[in-house]
Amino acid sequence: MISKVYHIPVMLKDTVNGLDIKPDGTYVDLTFGGGGHSKEILSRLGEGGRLYSFDQDLDAQKNARPLKETYGTSFTFIRSNFRFLKNWMRYYRVKHVDGILADLGVSSHHLDVGERGFSFRHDAKLDMRMNQTAKLKASDVLKNYTEKQLAEIFYLYGELKNSRKLASIIVKARANEEMETTGQLTELLKPYLSYDREKKDLARVFQALRIEVNGEMSALRQMLTSATEILAPGGRITILTYHSLEDRMVKNLIKSGNVEGKTETDLFGKNKAPLKAINRNVIMASPEEVQVNPRSRSAKLRIGEKWQR
């Protein structure tokens, strides 16, 4: 089932303005989703302009078809994980690009369509794969990971203070009962969550599992490194993040050229970072946007530009 509105793009103008689009330039949207950002980029391209859009989700691929019909060879959709950015650019014989945009995480579609298993709002199989052909599902994580591994995931990816407790409840419960559905997981954990934080903490548990299932941190790390390499001098990277781990990696990349934030200097002690920050402070959605699109509340936008050395 496809939801009516697939996804409302977040900070659409700010994000695409950040690319400083040249009509004949080559651009990459790493997270096509409902195509909101891609459409805006395409509308600013002219003769010779190219857009390559990635998404690993089969449903997102369907959204790309009308754009292919309208824009022909100016637009290429690539159904793949964006961790393979460099390989795909090599495949299309693209050496450098003028801009790269990423709007990380899941789309509203993922959360709205119950059977994808991303949300505790619907009772469904614990799936949570963005790429429906991938092997690992959330139910596999809950079934097979050790208590220590589960605690780490909840702590690192969900920032849950009671991560050890939640992991131990799951491990005890799975010895006696199946944990196949979002409903079963929610009912199991609810008694251990404080009433006023119940929804927030459940959202964090689900976020943590989803990040693990989709290998989001390792994909982001690999993509950010490749993105810096394939950007042309003066090229821009604009990234929307939705939780602090992602934002830290992007911030570090722009500041120091690597996701760890290690400053590297040349013989003269000058910072060798390949990018410079375009926005000194992170850009957040306006209160008006948050009101119509609550998802934008947690979004942080960072823009970097490759030095022309």
Ligand X SMILES: C[S@@+](CC[C@H](N)C(=O)[O-])C[C@H]1O[C@@H](n2cnc3c(N)ncnc32)[C@H](O)[C@@H]1O
* Closer residue to ligand X, CB minimum distance, 104 or 202: 104
Q: Among 75-83, 149-157, 245-253, 270-278, which window interacts with ligand X (CB under 6 A)?
A: 75-83
Do residues 88 and 78 lie in contact, with contact meaning Cβ atoms separated by under 8 Å? yes
Q: Show Cβ contacts of residue 49 under 8 Å, excluding neighbours closer than 6 positions.
A: 22, 23, 24, 25, 26, 27, 74
* Closer residue to ligand X, CB minimum distance, 83 or 204: 83
Beta bridge partners of 103: 240
Residues contacting ligand X: total by CB under 6 A? 21
Residue written as token pair 């790429």: 131
Do residues 86 and 229 lie in contact, with contact meaning Cβ atoms separated by under 8 Å? yes
Q: Show Cβ contacts of residue 282 under 8 Å, excluding neighbours closer than 6 positions.
A: 247, 251, 300, 301, 302
Q: Where are the beta strands (DSSP E) in 63-204?
A: 75-79, 97-103
Phi-psi region of 230 (alpha: psi -120 to 50; beta: other; left: phi over 0): alpha
Minimum separation from the CB atom of position 236 to ligand X (A) = 16
> Is residue 33 a contact residue for ligand X (CB under 6 A)?
yes
Residue of the chain from 11, 45, 49, 81 that contacts ligand X (CB under 6 A): 81
Residue 41 half-sphere exposure toward CB, CA atoms < 13 A: 35
Minimum separation from the CB atom of position 123 to ligand X (A) = 22
> Is residue 99 a contact residue for ligand X (CB under 6 A)?
no
Touching ligand X, residues 54-73 (CB under 6 A): 54-57, 60
* Closer residue to ligand X, CB minimum distance, 26 or 107: 107
Minimum separation from the CB atom of position 243 to ligand X (A) = 12
Residue of the chain from 21, 27, 28, 31 that contacts ligand X (CB under 6 A): 31
Cα R_g (the chain), whole angstroms = 20
> Is residue 82 a contact residue for ligand X (CB under 6 A)?
yes
* Closer residue to ligand X, CB minimum distance, 27 or 82: 82
> Is residue 293 a contact residue for ligand X (CB under 6 A)?
no
Residue ranges binding ligand X (CB under 6 A): 7, 9, 31, 33-37, 54-57, 60, 81-83, 103, 105, 107, 130, 219
